[in-house]
Amino acid sequence: MASPDDEFIAELKSEFGQFNFIPSTRFKWKAPNSIFYEAKTDYSFEDFALLTLHELGHALSNHKGYKTDVERLKMESEAWQRAKQLIKEHPAWQDRYRLFYNENLAETELDSYRDWLHQKSKCKKCGLTRYQTADGVYHCPNCEL
């Protein structure tokens, strides 16, 4: 018997045939059309489904790449909004899989990006928060004066 994970992926494949759904070791969107999902996971079905929908959210939002980390954070947030919308558009998923949007999961995932961004933007010399210019380079307002 197919697991709910497999059934869900099969359903997404038939509805979103323009994308490739590829089993992998981690969740990832790769433009122009590849959605990677963790094939053997300890995730609950709900987390598995939501993380997959998040990657589909990147795909449907036409995300290609980012120059700055703030841009990336914005894309992450957008992909979660899209995942939320997908759930709204598919009430059948509630009946079939008991699948609901989970704000906490999205916030936890976004928090880890925010932390990462915070760590990354910290100046190694003086500890001040640096800013990133459009070319992707970080500058310290203190050390680069």
Contact 58, 29 (CB under 8 A): yes
Contact 99, 116 (CB under 8 A): no
Q: Write down the least CB distance from residue 29 to Zn ion, Å.
A: 6
Residue with tokens 């999902």: 37
51 interacts with Zn ion by CB under 5 A: no
* Options 84-92, 94-102, 110-118, 132-140: segment touching Zn ion (CB under 5 A): 132-140
142 interacts with Zn ion by CB under 5 A: yes
Give the sheet arrangement for strand 34-38, strand by strand. 20-24, 34-38, 28-30
125 interacts with Zn ion by CB under 5 A: yes
**What distance in Å separates the CA atoms of residue 74 and residue 85, rounded to the nearest whole number?**
17
Residues 84-123 that bind Zn ion (CB under 5 A): 123
Binding site for Zn ion (CB under 5 A): 76, 79, 123, 125-126, 128, 140, 142-143
